[in-house]
Amino acid sequence: MATTIGIDLGGTKTLAVRMENNDLVDEAKLSTPPSEDLVGNAAAAIRAVWTDDIEAVGVGVAGLVEWPSGAFVWGPHVAGTGLQVRSRLADLFGVPVVVDNDANAGAWGELHLGAGRGYDDMLLVTLGTGIGGAIVLDGRVHRGGSFAGEWGHMLYQPGGAQCDCGKRGCWETVASGPALVRLARDFIAQNPEGTLAKALGGEPPTGEAITGAADGGDETARNLVAQVGEAFGRGLCNLIAVLDPQVIIVGGGLGSVGESLLGPARRVAADALHGGSHRMLPPILVAALGPRASAVGAALLAEDLATGRLSLRVEQRA
Ligand SMILES: [Zn+2]
């Protein structure tokens, strides 16, 4: 067991944790300056929880991260491209550093300390501003070439709504916080005197306000949340068809809404599953570590690095 730091480096906020023997002993939240200084932002977060006995540092970044080099390639919500985050942080702090995609780090956290405990084959699907995720196969994160699990950009609807990634009709254009807001905005434009407009107090809809109205019993809000849940469930069914996981853990801000969204998602996924009357839908569970999953998982990856369970040697392919 080692003392390590885990960082969740997002587009607007960064969370740093220090862990000893799998226990979280310190944490710090920082707002991330919207600059291209990704390394500087990570370094500030590391310093916020640093102690002299740190053996390794793990960083999860929202975007495409090359594995195992730890270079940040690109992300729609984080500035900068082609940054050698891992080697520069290792030079700065003089300890081993591992840098991974934030969802991969989150999956590692959920697998060991969260809702994925006891499973070997697990998908983490994060539902928030978009859809991200990670694949755990036989107890290991499956990264493919580097970027596996970016299923928010599976084609859902040819010619559909514009996605943040620049393409059209991706899964996350119909299942995400912004998708829910768009549904509510369209409904209110058609029904300016309806109960939903009143429930939101005449304010422009936000994801939180809509799910709040749904929890408060507004029928329209419940239907819109269910509609997003159904679109989410159809995509989950495709993931099950490909990977047949033992469990699906749903994280992210909208994922934490719970049954009003996951109930419809499960129903649709069970209906759409091929051979559905002869097999069980895998459990679809809410993530247990909440907003700390990626930082905690990054600290656990750092521990794996410090104790030799993880090697970042670049393997030569024949
Ligand atoms: Zn997309």
Q: What is the pLDDT of residue 316?
A: 54
Q: What is the pLDDT of residue 10?
A: 85
Distance 37 CA to ligand 1 centre (A): 25
CATH superfamily of 117-287: ATPase, nucleotide binding domain (3.30.420.40)
Q: What is the pLDDT of residue 258?
A: 87
Q: What is the CA radius of gyration of the chain?
A: 20
Same fold, 3-108+291-306 and 117-287: yes
Q: Locate tokens 């607007």: which residue?
A: 12
Distance 179 CA to ligand 1 centre (A): 13
Distance 279 CA to ligand 1 centre (A): 31
Distance 155 CA to ligand 1 centre (A): 8
Q: What is the pLDDT of residue 315?
A: 56
Distance 60 CA to ligand 1 centre (A): 21
Neighbours of ion ligand 1 (CB under 5 A): 153, 163, 165, 167, 170
Best CATH choice for the domain 3-108+291-306 from the list 3.30.420.40, 3.40.190.10, 3.20.20.70, 3.40.50.720:
3.30.420.40
Q: What is the pLDDT of residue 244?
A: 97
Q: What is the pLDDT of residue 314?
A: 65
Q: What is the pLDDT of residue 13?
A: 87
Q: State the Cα–Cα distance between residues 104 and 68, nearest whole angstrom.
A: 12
Q: State the Cα–Cα distance between residues 46 and 217, nearest whole angstrom.
A: 43
Q: What is the pLDDT of residue 255?
A: 87
Where the chain has pLDDT below 50, the residues are none
Domain ranges of the chain: 3-108+291-306, 117-287
| DSSP conformation letters of 95-147 | S-EEEEEHHHHHHHHHHHHSTTTT-SSEEEEEESSSEEEEEEETTEEE-TTTT
Distance 36 CA to ligand 1 centre (A): 22
Distance 237 CA to ligand 1 centre (A): 19
Q: Read off the pTM.
A: 0.93
Are 178 and 131 a contacting pair, CB within 8 Å? Answer: no
